[in-house]
Amino acid sequence: ILLDEIWILFPDPWPKKKHHKRRLINNTFFAKINSKLIFGGKIIIVTDSISYFISILNSVHKSKKFKWINDKPKNWQYSNTNLIKTKYYQKALKSNRKSMIIILSKI
């Protein structure tokens, strides 16, 4: 089975440096997911953790299998989308954290 889209909304950021290896989205994730996604398929990721946002983009760059679609800062704001606003989005708002969206396409 091949997928058209994969949505990952607010994965656990494991904020402590010693726990970063537990993060779902990393180099291994992109290597595994590549075979499950159709050509041009999308991965949509939303996080309110800046360090996780940067980590995800580093992994995307290393994989060379995905293109970052919304690569302009004005397009990173999840609040500007019509997508579902989860309880984690609401929690981030209450804590004054911005939620950022990453949209990737398999190349």
Both tokens assigned to 77: 């704001």
Q: Please name every residue paired with 66 in a beta bridge, in sequence order, or none if there are none.
A: 106
Question: Shortest CA distance to 92 belongs to which of 81, 80, 78?
Answer: 78
Q: Of 4, 12, 48, 71, which residue is the catalytic one? A: 12
In angstroms, the Cα distances linking 44 to 2, 17, 94, 107 are: 16, 24, 23, 15
71 is catalytic: no
Catalytically active residues, by annotation: 12
